């Protein structure tokens, strides 16, 4: 592996999002599952299939992990390959009909279900590593190191231990690195990697991404971002899309909503306060955009906790 990759991974950090284990009560198919964070699912003895649009479903076998990079819309079938389709918005508001949280999956094989951990794998302080490498959803064969770290995080999540945040920080970073090592051990993956890091040579993109990350509560118009890169406002949209494969304002909104979810899950701050902290002065506009993306109001979403790992489109 080249020096470039070593230098890149020296800046690696993984940030914990959420963890949960669930028993599957009824089979279901979600046609547009879109993860806000990177998600690692473990199959505890239940049929799980995933597929991208217009592709055949791929099985995630019992004992395997399924790694789903953030912001990739995939179809997922749980409980049966022919599981009935469930509208995403309905699933978001009625998930208790299909899933029951449990702590028994880690210690017993008496139940069939799945568990998952969500996290952000970042490099250079602001770039999602799997996004940078254009990683697709993939199964990971049983691996004792990954499994032990994964179980440790799930068990830690169940009890309010001393210094829990520190434990999550280190365990999730180690888990993320083991996933990266697994990917880099796949020859076909490594061969196509070089072309995916070209844009990091343009420091202007990193300046823009870093600024967005640190100033999410500020004005982040194309004019402001163009000024950081010393390019025209008219060219900003094209420039950003060439590097990031999306419009700058779509990226900004994604970052804002990701922070909103974090604040909803980890604080009791008022909705109005959260809106301001993500750079939206109009609380009503924030609520409309949130409902459009997640199928529910922020006030209701706060009570849904774990399911907010997922977004519907």
Mean pLDDT of 112-117: 90
Distance (Å, whole) CA 294 – CA 304: 11
* CA quadruple 232, 235, 237, 240: dihedral sign: negative
State the chain's mean pLDDT as an integer: 86
Least reliable range by pLDDT among 43-57, 215-229, 251-265 = 251-265
2 or 58, which is more confident? 58
| Percent of the residues in the chain that have a pLDDT greater than 70, as a whole number | 88
pLDDT value at residue 296: 78
pLDDT tens readout for residues 220-262: 999 999 999 999 999 999 999 888 878 999 999 989 998 998 8
Taking the C-alpha atoms of residue 201 and residue 215, their distance in angstroms, rounded to an integer, is 23
Out of 6-20, 103-117, 235-249, give the one with best mean pLDDT: 235-249
For residue 237, what is the DSSP state? H
Q: At what angle do helices 233-244 and 248-266 cross, to 10 degrees?
A: 70
* 282 has a pLDDT exceeding 90: yes
| pTM for this entry | 0.83
Confidence of residue 200 (pLDDT cuts 50, 70, 90): low
d(CA 17, CA 37): 8
Q: Which residue segments constitute the domains of the chain, with CATH numbers given?
A: 3-191 (2.60.120), 202-312 (1.10.10.60)
Buried b (16+ CB within 10 A) or exposed e, 49-58: bbeeeeeeee
Confidence of residue 197 (pLDDT cuts 50, 70, 90): low
- Place 75 in a pLDDT band, splitting at 50, 70 and 90: very high
């Amino acid at each position: 592996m080249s020096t470039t990759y070593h230098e890149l991974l020296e800046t690696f950090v993984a940030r914990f999002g959420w963890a949960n284990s669930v028993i599957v009560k009824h089979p279901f198919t979600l046609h547009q599952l879109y993860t806000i964070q990177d998600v690692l699912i473990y199959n505890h003895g239940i049929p799980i299939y995933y597929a991208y649009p217009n592709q055949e479903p791929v099985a995630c076998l019992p004992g395997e992990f399924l790694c789903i990079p953030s912001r990739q819309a995939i179809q997922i079938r749980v409980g049966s390959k022919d599981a009935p389709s469930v509208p995403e918005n309905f699933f978001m508001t009625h998930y208790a009909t299909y899933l029951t949280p449990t702590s028994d999956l880690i210690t017993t094989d008496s139940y069939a279900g799945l568990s998952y951990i969500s996290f952000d794998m970042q490099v250079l302080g602001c770039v999602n590593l799997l996004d940078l490498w254009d990683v697709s959803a993939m199964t990971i064969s049983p691996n004792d190191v990954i499994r032990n770290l994964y179980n440790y995080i799930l068990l830690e999540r169940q009890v309010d231990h001393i210094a829990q945040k520190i434990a999550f920080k280190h365990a999730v970073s180690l888990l993320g690195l083991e996933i990266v090592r697994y990917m880099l051990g796949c020859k076909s993956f490594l061969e196509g990697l070089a072309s995916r890091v070209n844009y990091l040579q343009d420091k202007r993109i990193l300046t823009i991404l870093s600024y967005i990350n640190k100033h999410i509560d500020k004005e982040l118009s194309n004019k402001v971002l163009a000024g950081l890169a010393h390019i025209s406002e008219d060219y900003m949209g094209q420039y950003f899309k060439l590097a990031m494969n999306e419009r700058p304002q779509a990226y900004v909104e994604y970052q804002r909503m990701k922070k909103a979810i974090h604040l909803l899950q980890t604080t009791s701050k008022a909705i109005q306060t959260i809106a301001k902290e993500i750079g939206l002065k109009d609380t009503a506009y924030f609520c409309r955009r949130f409902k459009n993306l997640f199928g529910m109001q922020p006030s209701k979403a706060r009570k849904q906790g774990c399911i907010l790992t997922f977004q519907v489109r």
